[in-house]
Structure 1
Amino acid sequence: MSKEVESFTDWLRDSAQVLHDNAAYLTELDSAIGDADHGANMDRGFGAVVAVLDETSFDTVDELLKKAGMTLVSKVGGASGPLYGTFFLRFGTALAGVKLTPAAIGEGLRAGVGGILARGKAEIGDKTMYDAWGPALDAYDTAVAGGGDLAAALTAAAEASAKGRDATVPLEARKGRASYLGERSVGHQDPGATSTTLLLESAARTLA
Protein backbone atom coordinates (compact mmCIF):
# COMPACT_ATOMS: atom_id res chain seq x y z
CA MET A 1 0.00 0.00 0.00
CA SER A 2 1.44 3.36 -1.04
CA LYS A 3 1.86 6.14 1.50
CA GLU A 4 -0.92 8.12 -0.22
CA VAL A 5 -3.38 5.22 -0.15
CA GLU A 6 -2.46 4.66 3.50
CA SER A 7 -3.18 8.31 4.36
CA PHE A 8 -6.56 8.32 2.65
CA THR A 9 -7.40 5.00 4.28
CA ASP A 10 -6.52 6.54 7.65
CA TRP A 11 -8.87 9.44 6.83
CA LEU A 12 -11.79 7.12 6.07
CA ARG A 13 -11.19 5.07 9.21
CA ASP A 14 -10.83 8.15 11.40
CA SER A 15 -13.98 9.68 9.88
CA ALA A 16 -15.89 6.49 10.61
CA GLN A 17 -14.79 6.60 14.25
CA VAL A 18 -15.65 10.28 14.65
CA LEU A 19 -19.06 9.81 13.02
CA HIS A 20 -19.70 6.83 15.28
CA ASP A 21 -18.74 8.88 18.34
CA ASN A 22 -21.02 11.74 17.22
CA ALA A 23 -23.90 9.65 15.85
CA ALA A 24 -26.26 10.50 18.71
CA TYR A 25 -25.40 14.19 18.46
CA LEU A 26 -25.99 14.28 14.69
CA THR A 27 -29.31 12.50 15.10
CA GLU A 28 -30.29 14.94 17.86
CA LEU A 29 -29.61 17.83 15.47
CA ASP A 30 -31.55 16.06 12.73
CA SER A 31 -34.49 15.31 15.03
CA ALA A 32 -35.10 19.06 15.31
CA ILE A 33 -35.30 19.80 11.57
CA GLY A 34 -35.13 16.49 9.68
CA ASP A 35 -35.90 12.78 9.84
CA ALA A 36 -33.86 12.09 13.01
CA ASP A 37 -31.66 9.60 11.16
CA HIS A 38 -28.56 11.51 10.02
CA GLY A 39 -26.28 10.19 12.75
CA ALA A 40 -27.44 6.61 12.38
CA ASN A 41 -27.18 6.78 8.59
CA MET A 42 -23.68 8.25 8.62
CA ASP A 43 -22.53 5.76 11.25
CA ARG A 44 -23.92 2.82 9.28
CA GLY A 45 -22.53 4.06 5.98
CA PHE A 46 -19.01 4.67 7.20
CA GLY A 47 -19.11 1.43 9.16
CA ALA A 48 -19.76 -0.29 5.84
CA VAL A 49 -16.82 1.59 4.30
CA VAL A 50 -14.54 0.33 7.09
CA ALA A 51 -15.77 -3.23 6.47
CA VAL A 52 -14.70 -2.84 2.83
CA LEU A 53 -11.30 -1.46 3.91
CA ASP A 54 -10.81 -4.48 6.16
CA GLU A 55 -11.23 -6.96 3.30
CA THR A 56 -9.97 -5.08 0.23
CA SER A 57 -6.60 -3.56 -0.68
CA PHE A 58 -6.38 -0.65 -3.08
CA ASP A 59 -3.54 0.29 -5.41
CA THR A 60 -4.57 3.90 -5.95
CA VAL A 61 -6.36 6.65 -4.05
CA ASP A 62 -8.95 7.10 -6.79
CA GLU A 63 -9.95 3.40 -6.57
CA LEU A 64 -10.22 3.71 -2.79
CA LEU A 65 -12.39 6.82 -2.85
CA LYS A 66 -14.65 5.55 -5.63
CA LYS A 67 -15.25 2.32 -3.72
CA ALA A 68 -16.06 4.33 -0.58
CA GLY A 69 -18.51 6.41 -2.61
CA MET A 70 -20.26 3.40 -4.10
CA THR A 71 -20.51 1.82 -0.66
CA LEU A 72 -22.15 4.93 0.80
CA VAL A 73 -24.63 5.20 -2.07
CA SER A 74 -25.66 1.56 -1.66
CA LYS A 75 -25.71 1.33 2.14
CA VAL A 76 -27.09 4.65 3.40
CA GLY A 77 -30.70 5.76 3.32
CA GLY A 78 -31.96 9.33 3.36
CA ALA A 79 -30.28 12.19 1.54
CA SER A 80 -26.86 11.78 3.10
CA GLY A 81 -25.89 8.50 1.39
CA PRO A 82 -26.35 9.71 -2.19
CA LEU A 83 -24.82 13.12 -1.39
CA TYR A 84 -21.71 11.90 0.41
CA GLY A 85 -21.44 8.91 -1.91
CA THR A 86 -21.46 11.20 -4.94
CA PHE A 87 -18.86 13.40 -3.24
CA PHE A 88 -16.41 10.52 -2.85
CA LEU A 89 -17.13 9.14 -6.34
CA ARG A 90 -16.42 12.50 -7.98
CA PHE A 91 -13.45 13.17 -5.69
CA GLY A 92 -11.92 9.84 -6.63
CA THR A 93 -12.59 10.29 -10.34
CA ALA A 94 -10.85 13.68 -10.29
CA LEU A 95 -7.73 12.17 -8.69
CA ALA A 96 -7.32 9.34 -11.22
CA GLY A 97 -3.90 9.45 -12.85
CA VAL A 98 -2.80 12.76 -11.35
CA LYS A 99 0.04 13.60 -8.95
CA LEU A 100 -1.55 14.25 -5.57
CA THR A 101 -0.33 17.78 -4.97
CA PRO A 102 -2.26 20.09 -2.62
CA ALA A 103 -3.68 21.86 -5.70
CA ALA A 104 -4.82 18.58 -7.28
CA ILE A 105 -6.46 17.45 -4.04
CA GLY A 106 -8.22 20.83 -3.88
CA GLU A 107 -9.53 20.33 -7.41
CA GLY A 108 -10.70 16.88 -6.37
CA LEU A 109 -12.53 18.26 -3.35
CA ARG A 110 -14.20 20.86 -5.57
CA ALA A 111 -15.23 18.16 -8.05
CA GLY A 112 -16.69 16.13 -5.18
CA VAL A 113 -18.69 19.06 -3.89
CA GLY A 114 -19.79 19.73 -7.48
CA GLY A 115 -21.41 16.29 -7.30
CA ILE A 116 -23.23 17.28 -4.12
CA LEU A 117 -24.49 20.46 -5.80
CA ALA A 118 -25.59 18.58 -8.92
CA ARG A 119 -27.79 16.39 -6.71
CA GLY A 120 -28.88 18.91 -4.11
CA LYS A 121 -29.00 22.21 -6.05
CA ALA A 122 -28.13 24.14 -2.88
CA GLU A 123 -26.67 27.62 -2.52
CA ILE A 124 -24.92 29.34 0.37
CA GLY A 125 -27.58 30.39 2.86
CA ASP A 126 -29.96 27.50 2.16
CA LYS A 127 -29.03 25.86 5.50
CA THR A 128 -27.47 22.71 4.07
CA MET A 129 -24.08 20.99 4.11
CA TYR A 130 -23.01 23.39 1.34
CA ASP A 131 -22.93 26.19 3.91
CA ALA A 132 -19.92 24.33 5.34
CA TRP A 133 -18.45 23.04 2.08
CA GLY A 134 -18.50 26.35 0.18
CA PRO A 135 -16.36 28.34 2.63
CA ALA A 136 -14.13 25.31 3.18
CA LEU A 137 -13.26 25.04 -0.53
CA ASP A 138 -12.53 28.76 -0.76
CA ALA A 139 -10.32 28.68 2.34
CA TYR A 140 -8.46 25.62 1.00
CA ASP A 141 -7.79 27.27 -2.37
CA THR A 142 -6.67 30.52 -0.71
CA ALA A 143 -4.21 28.62 1.48
CA VAL A 144 -2.76 26.72 -1.49
CA ALA A 145 -2.53 29.91 -3.58
CA GLY A 146 -0.56 31.47 -0.72
CA GLY A 147 1.97 28.65 -0.79
CA GLY A 148 0.43 26.58 2.00
CA ASP A 149 1.04 22.85 2.18
CA LEU A 150 -1.69 20.21 2.49
CA ALA A 151 -1.77 20.48 6.28
CA ALA A 152 -2.26 24.25 6.16
CA ALA A 153 -4.90 24.02 3.44
CA LEU A 154 -6.92 21.31 5.20
CA THR A 155 -6.71 23.11 8.54
CA ALA A 156 -7.96 26.31 6.89
CA ALA A 157 -10.76 24.35 5.23
CA ALA A 158 -11.82 22.72 8.51
CA GLU A 159 -11.85 26.07 10.33
CA ALA A 160 -13.91 27.72 7.57
CA SER A 161 -16.28 24.74 7.54
CA ALA A 162 -16.86 25.12 11.29
CA LYS A 163 -17.71 28.80 10.84
CA GLY A 164 -20.09 27.91 8.01
CA ARG A 165 -21.69 25.21 10.19
CA ASP A 166 -22.22 27.69 13.03
CA ALA A 167 -23.67 30.21 10.59
CA THR A 168 -26.51 27.79 9.72
CA VAL A 169 -28.08 28.23 13.17
CA PRO A 170 -29.93 31.53 12.51
CA LEU A 171 -30.88 30.60 8.93
CA GLU A 172 -34.30 29.52 7.72
CA ALA A 173 -33.95 26.33 5.68
CA ARG A 174 -34.69 26.61 1.97
CA LYS A 175 -33.78 23.07 0.89
CA GLY A 176 -34.44 19.53 2.01
CA ARG A 177 -36.72 18.23 4.72
CA ALA A 178 -35.93 21.18 7.01
CA SER A 179 -37.44 23.60 4.48
CA TYR A 180 -40.90 22.18 5.28
CA LEU A 181 -40.61 23.72 8.74
CA GLY A 182 -40.19 27.28 7.46
CA GLU A 183 -39.44 29.68 10.32
CA ARG A 184 -39.36 26.81 12.82
CA SER A 185 -36.03 25.72 11.29
CA VAL A 186 -34.43 28.92 12.61
CA GLY A 187 -32.24 28.41 15.68
CA HIS A 188 -31.09 24.90 14.79
CA GLN A 189 -27.66 23.85 13.49
CA ASP A 190 -27.73 21.98 10.20
CA PRO A 191 -26.76 18.31 10.66
CA GLY A 192 -25.22 17.98 7.20
CA ALA A 193 -22.99 21.02 7.75
CA THR A 194 -22.01 19.43 11.06
CA SER A 195 -21.02 16.07 9.56
CA THR A 196 -19.15 17.91 6.77
CA THR A 197 -17.08 19.70 9.40
CA LEU A 198 -16.35 16.42 11.19
CA LEU A 199 -15.05 14.94 7.90
CA LEU A 200 -12.85 17.95 7.17
CA GLU A 201 -11.48 18.07 10.70
CA SER A 202 -10.64 14.39 10.30
CA ALA A 203 -8.92 15.12 6.96
CA ALA A 204 -6.82 17.83 8.60
CA ARG A 205 -5.72 15.32 11.26
CA THR A 206 -4.97 12.38 8.98
CA LEU A 207 -4.20 13.43 5.40
CA ALA A 208 -1.62 16.05 6.35
Structure 2
Amino acid sequence: MKDFLALCVTRFEALEQELNQLDAATGDGDHGATILKGLRAAAAFDDAPEKAFRKAAGGASGSLFAQIIAALDRAADGAPLGAALSQAADRIAMLGQAKPGDKTMLDALIPAAAATTLDAAAQAAAKGRDATRDMPAKRGRAKYVEGAGVGHIDAGATSVAALLAIFAEWRRM
Protein backbone atom coordinates (compact mmCIF):
# COMPACT_ATOMS: atom_id res chain seq x y z
CA MET A 1 0.00 0.00 0.00
CA LYS A 2 2.87 2.35 0.74
CA ASP A 3 4.11 2.19 -2.86
CA PHE A 4 0.54 2.79 -4.09
CA LEU A 5 0.31 5.92 -1.97
CA ALA A 6 3.72 7.09 -3.19
CA LEU A 7 2.47 6.63 -6.76
CA CYS A 8 -0.66 8.62 -5.86
CA VAL A 9 1.49 11.48 -4.56
CA THR A 10 3.40 11.61 -7.84
CA ARG A 11 0.24 11.50 -9.96
CA PHE A 12 -1.67 14.01 -7.83
CA GLU A 13 1.26 16.42 -7.96
CA ALA A 14 0.62 16.49 -11.71
CA LEU A 15 -3.17 16.79 -11.16
CA GLU A 16 -3.11 19.39 -8.38
CA GLN A 17 -3.63 22.48 -10.55
CA GLU A 18 -6.33 20.82 -12.66
CA LEU A 19 -8.21 19.76 -9.53
CA ASN A 20 -7.85 23.25 -8.05
CA GLN A 21 -9.25 24.75 -11.26
CA LEU A 22 -12.19 22.34 -11.28
CA ASP A 23 -12.87 23.23 -7.67
CA ALA A 24 -12.53 26.97 -8.33
CA ALA A 25 -15.47 26.77 -10.74
CA THR A 26 -17.78 25.35 -8.08
CA GLY A 27 -16.01 25.69 -4.72
CA ASP A 28 -13.08 27.36 -3.05
CA GLY A 29 -10.34 26.20 -5.43
CA ASP A 30 -8.20 24.15 -3.05
CA HIS A 31 -9.32 20.58 -3.70
CA GLY A 32 -6.10 19.50 -5.44
CA ALA A 33 -3.91 20.98 -2.72
CA THR A 34 -6.03 19.39 0.00
CA ILE A 35 -6.00 15.91 -1.53
CA LEU A 36 -2.27 16.10 -2.20
CA LYS A 37 -1.59 17.16 1.40
CA GLY A 38 -3.58 14.16 2.64
CA LEU A 39 -1.88 11.75 0.25
CA ARG A 40 1.58 12.94 1.27
CA ALA A 41 0.73 12.33 4.92
CA ALA A 42 -0.79 8.92 4.20
CA ALA A 43 2.29 7.88 2.20
CA ALA A 44 4.57 8.87 5.09
CA PHE A 45 2.91 6.59 7.65
CA ASP A 46 3.10 2.82 7.89
CA ASP A 47 -0.11 2.22 9.83
CA ALA A 48 -3.63 3.55 9.26
CA PRO A 49 -3.02 5.68 6.17
CA GLU A 50 -6.63 6.85 6.28
CA LYS A 51 -6.08 8.45 9.70
CA ALA A 52 -2.97 10.27 8.47
CA PHE A 53 -4.90 11.40 5.39
CA ARG A 54 -7.86 12.64 7.44
CA LYS A 55 -5.69 14.58 9.87
CA ALA A 56 -3.52 16.22 7.20
CA ALA A 57 -6.28 17.04 4.72
CA GLY A 58 -8.70 18.20 7.39
CA GLY A 59 -12.24 19.38 6.87
CA ALA A 60 -14.92 17.54 4.99
CA SER A 61 -12.59 16.33 2.23
CA GLY A 62 -10.26 14.78 4.79
CA SER A 63 -13.05 12.81 6.42
CA LEU A 64 -14.70 11.76 3.17
CA PHE A 65 -11.61 10.81 1.18
CA ALA A 66 -10.18 8.98 4.19
CA GLN A 67 -13.02 6.49 3.64
CA ILE A 68 -11.74 5.78 0.13
CA ILE A 69 -8.14 5.44 1.33
CA ALA A 70 -9.34 2.94 3.95
CA ALA A 71 -11.33 1.01 1.32
CA LEU A 72 -8.35 0.78 -1.02
CA ASP A 73 -6.16 -0.29 1.91
CA ARG A 74 -8.61 -3.12 2.68
CA ALA A 75 -8.70 -4.11 -1.00
CA ALA A 76 -4.90 -4.12 -1.14
CA ASP A 77 -5.02 -6.56 1.79
CA GLY A 78 -7.35 -8.89 -0.11
CA ALA A 79 -10.85 -7.63 0.66
CA PRO A 80 -13.21 -7.61 -2.33
CA LEU A 81 -12.91 -4.20 -3.97
CA GLY A 82 -16.65 -3.79 -4.58
CA ALA A 83 -17.53 -4.48 -0.97
CA ALA A 84 -14.83 -2.13 0.31
CA LEU A 85 -15.93 0.66 -2.04
CA SER A 86 -19.61 0.09 -1.18
CA GLN A 87 -18.84 0.42 2.51
CA ALA A 88 -16.91 3.63 1.82
CA ALA A 89 -19.79 4.98 -0.28
CA ASP A 90 -22.28 4.24 2.50
CA ARG A 91 -20.14 6.07 5.06
CA ILE A 92 -19.55 9.01 2.73
CA ALA A 93 -23.28 9.26 1.98
CA MET A 94 -24.01 9.29 5.70
CA LEU A 95 -21.26 11.78 6.60
CA GLY A 96 -21.95 14.10 3.68
CA GLN A 97 -25.72 13.65 3.61
CA ALA A 98 -25.40 13.07 -0.15
CA LYS A 99 -26.78 10.62 -2.66
CA PRO A 100 -26.12 9.68 -6.29
CA GLY A 101 -27.00 12.52 -8.64
CA ASP A 102 -26.06 15.25 -6.13
CA LYS A 103 -22.88 16.05 -8.13
CA THR A 104 -20.42 14.68 -5.59
CA MET A 105 -17.68 12.10 -5.31
CA LEU A 106 -20.42 9.49 -4.89
CA ASP A 107 -21.30 9.85 -8.56
CA ALA A 108 -17.94 8.25 -9.38
CA LEU A 109 -17.65 5.96 -6.35
CA ILE A 110 -21.00 4.18 -6.43
CA PRO A 111 -20.72 2.99 -10.06
CA ALA A 112 -17.17 1.84 -9.32
CA ALA A 113 -18.37 -0.19 -6.35
CA ALA A 114 -20.87 -2.00 -8.58
CA ALA A 115 -18.23 -3.05 -11.14
CA THR A 116 -17.01 -6.63 -11.26
CA THR A 117 -13.32 -6.04 -11.98
CA LEU A 118 -10.76 -3.44 -10.98
CA ASP A 119 -10.42 -2.09 -14.52
CA ALA A 120 -14.21 -1.92 -14.85
CA ALA A 121 -14.35 -0.04 -11.54
CA ALA A 122 -11.86 2.54 -12.83
CA GLN A 123 -13.85 2.90 -16.06
CA ALA A 124 -17.15 3.22 -14.18
CA ALA A 125 -15.66 5.90 -11.93
CA ALA A 126 -14.46 7.84 -14.99
CA LYS A 127 -17.90 7.61 -16.57
CA GLY A 128 -19.51 8.75 -13.30
CA ARG A 129 -17.05 11.64 -13.09
CA ASP A 130 -17.93 12.74 -16.62
CA ALA A 131 -21.65 12.57 -15.86
CA THR A 132 -21.25 15.21 -13.15
CA ARG A 133 -20.72 17.85 -15.87
CA ASP A 134 -24.46 17.95 -16.60
CA MET A 135 -25.69 17.59 -13.03
CA PRO A 136 -26.88 20.47 -10.88
CA ALA A 137 -25.15 20.33 -7.50
CA LYS A 138 -27.36 19.57 -4.55
CA ARG A 139 -24.65 19.38 -1.87
CA GLY A 140 -21.60 21.43 -0.98
CA ARG A 141 -20.52 24.85 -2.17
CA ALA A 142 -21.32 24.03 -5.78
CA LYS A 143 -25.05 24.24 -5.14
CA TYR A 144 -24.63 27.96 -4.44
CA VAL A 145 -22.83 28.93 -7.66
CA GLU A 146 -24.71 30.17 -10.70
CA GLY A 147 -26.44 27.27 -12.41
CA ALA A 148 -25.51 24.98 -9.51
CA GLY A 149 -22.30 24.04 -11.28
CA VAL A 150 -23.91 22.65 -14.45
CA GLY A 151 -21.25 22.54 -17.14
CA HIS A 152 -18.43 21.76 -14.71
CA ILE A 153 -17.07 18.37 -13.69
CA ASP A 154 -16.98 17.75 -9.95
CA ALA A 155 -13.47 17.88 -8.49
CA GLY A 156 -14.21 15.19 -5.89
CA ALA A 157 -15.52 12.79 -8.52
CA THR A 158 -12.39 13.52 -10.55
CA SER A 159 -10.19 12.58 -7.59
CA VAL A 160 -12.13 9.36 -7.01
CA ALA A 161 -11.71 8.39 -10.68
CA ALA A 162 -7.99 9.19 -10.53
CA LEU A 163 -7.47 7.17 -7.33
CA LEU A 164 -9.19 4.14 -8.84
CA ALA A 165 -7.27 4.42 -12.12
CA ILE A 166 -3.99 4.62 -10.18
CA PHE A 167 -5.02 1.68 -7.99
CA ALA A 168 -5.82 -0.42 -11.09
CA GLU A 169 -2.47 0.48 -12.62
CA TRP A 170 -0.63 -0.29 -9.35
CA ARG A 171 -2.27 -3.72 -9.08
CA ARG A 172 -1.03 -4.56 -12.59
CA MET A 173 2.59 -3.66 -11.73
TM-score normalised to structure 1 length:
0.75
Residue 67 of structure 2 corresponds to residue 86 of structure 1: yes
Match in the other structure for 1:100? 78
How many residues are aligned here?
Answer: 171
Whether 2:108 is the aligned partner of 1:119: answer no
Q: 1:183 aligns with which of 147, 150, 155?
A: 147
- Of 39, 57, 69, the residue aligned with 2:50 is 69
Which residue number in structure 1 is paired with residue 128 of structure 2? 164
Q: Which residue of 2 aligns with 1:149?
A: none
Instruction: Quote the Cα distance in structure 2 between the aligned partners of 1:113 and 1:124.
Output: 10
- Please give the alpha-carbon distance, in whole angstroms, between the structure 2 residues aligned to 1:121 and 1:182: 22
Kindly name which structure, 1 or 2, has the bigger radius of gyration based on alpha carbons. 1
Whether 2:12 is the aligned partner of 1:19: answer yes
State whether residues 27 and 36 of structure 1, in contact with CA within 8 Å, keep that contact through their aligned partners in structure 2.
yes
Once residues 100 and 35 of structure 2 are traced to their aligned partners in structure 1, the CA distance between those partners, rounded to angstroms, is 23
* The 10-residue stretch of structure 1 (25-34 or 184-193) with the greater mean CA deviation from structure 2: 184-193
Aligned partner of residue 44 in structure 2, secondary structure: helix
Residue type matched to 1:80 in 2?
S
Q: Aligned partners of 1:51 and 1:162: how far apart in 2?
A: 28
Contact 2:85 2:109 in 1 (8 A): no
| 1:103-159 residue CA offsets vs partner (Å, 9 max, x unmatched) | x333222222222112112111110000001111112xxx2xxxxxxxxx1110011
Residue 168 of structure 2 is aligned to residue 204 of structure 1: yes
Instruction: Find 1:129's aligned residue among 90, 100, 105.
Output: 105
Between stretches 83-92 and 11-20, larger displacement belongs to 83-92
* CA offsets 1:84-112 (integer angstroms, 9 cap, x no match): 113334665x67xxx826xx333222222
Q: 1:91 to 1:201 in 2, by over 3 A?
A: closer
Equivalent position amino acid for 2:36 in 1: D
Residue 178 of structure 1 and its aligned partner are, at CA, apart by 0.7
TM-score scaled by structure 2? 0.90
**SS of structure 1 residue aligned to 2:133:** coil
Secondary structure at 2:134 match in 1: coil
Return the letter of the residue paired with 2:58.
G
Report the 3-state secondary structure (helix = DSSP H, G, I; strand = E; otherwise coil) of the residue aligned with 2:28: coil
Structure 1: stretches of 5+ with no match in the other structure: 1-7, 57-63, 144-152
